[in-house]
């Protein structure tokens, strides 16, 4: 029997929250166990119940998604959080990534993609809505120079770029090792070097950086 994935939803728009709850609960192995209308309520909920995944809006009153995600991940390091976003939220994506988000899904997401996204993040991988990746790739990095780094301080090696391509595609460490015929430890070393050389905070931040700076094809 498949284990039920327990989910908390956080969004300050009641109608959207209701629709999202219905969509999540329609999936046989998902269950919404709590809802919050702002980041503070979300953190209070986490003191009472233990979800597997949180789906949270970025822009909320009282405490926004970035602040709530940072506080939640610091207290519960293994918690997986996905940001609910719109194209207009692009400038906040790296801030959310730095806070510890495991992925980003558009608010216009359908049931099929929602199920894929939750299962992907639940398995320990990252997830980005394809349309969102395309929007990031097409946007001008210069416009976000205050948020996104513009230059790589050190030259990336050919192998690091190979690993980066697979990271952007959402492959796990083992999958990358199998594709490139190298060990998991070698993949982990390349990933650490990529994060160091790009000045990013984690894998999700690295994905955003790579796409923004045309280092990976989506």
This prediction has a pTM of 0.85
Which residue's structure tokens are 């608010």? 107
Classified as helix, coil or strand, 190 is helix
152 confidence band (pLDDT: 50, 70, 90): low
Each residue's pLDDT tens digit, 101-114: 999 999 999 999 99
Rounded-to-integer distance, Cα 202 and Cα 13, Å: 30
Is the pLDDT at 211 greater than 50, yes or no? yes
- Domain 141-212 in CATH 1.10.10.10? The answer is yes
Domain boundaries, the chain: 5-138, 141-212
Each residue's pLDDT tens digit, 53-81: 999 999 999 999 999 999 999 999 999 99
Q: pLDDT at position 199, please?
A: 86
Which run of H or of E encompasses 60?
none
Same fold, 5-138 and 141-212: no
Query: What percent of the chain clears pLDDT 90, i.e. is strictly above it?
Result: 71
Each residue's pLDDT tens digit, 155-169: 788 999 999 999 999
CATH topology of domain 5-138: Rossmann fold (3.40.50)
CB 72, CB 34: distance < 8 Å: no
Is the pLDDT at 126 greater than 60, yes or no? yes
Residue 174's Cβ-count burial label (10 Å; 0-12, 13-18, 19+) is exposed
Rounded-to-integer distance, Cα 34 and Cα 143, Å: 37
Q: In what order do the strands lie in the sheet with 5-10?
A: 30-36, 5-10, 53-57, 80-85, 103-106, 127-128
Which residue's structure tokens are 């969509």? 23
């Amino acid at each position: 029997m498949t284990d039920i994935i327990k989910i908390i939803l956080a969004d300050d728009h009641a109608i959207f929250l209701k629709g999202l709850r219905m969509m999540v609960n329609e999936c046989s192995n998902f269950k919404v166990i709590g809802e919050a209308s702002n980041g503070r309520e979300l953190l209070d909920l986490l003191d009472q119940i233990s979800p597997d995944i949180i789906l949270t809006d970025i822009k909320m009153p009282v405490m926004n998604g970035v602040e709530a995600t940072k506080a939640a991940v610091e207290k519960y390091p293994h918690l997986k959080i996905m940001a609910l976003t719109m194209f207009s939220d692009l400038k906040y994506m790296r801030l959310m990534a730095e806070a510890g988000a495991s992925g980003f899904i558009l608010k216009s997401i359908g049931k099929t993609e929602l199920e894929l996204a939750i299962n992907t993040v639940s398995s320990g991988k990252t997830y980005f809505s394809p349309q969102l990746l395309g929007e990031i790739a097409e946007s001008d990095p210069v416009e976000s120079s205050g948020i996104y780094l513009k230059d790589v301080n050190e030259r990336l090696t050919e192998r690091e770029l190979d690993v980066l391509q697979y990271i952007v595609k959402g492959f796990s460490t083992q999958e990358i090792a199998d594709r490139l015929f190298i060990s998991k430890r070698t993949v982990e070393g390349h990933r650490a070097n990529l994060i160091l050389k790009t000045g990013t905070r984690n894998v999700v931040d690295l994905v955003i950086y790579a796409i923004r700076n045309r280092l990976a094809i989506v």
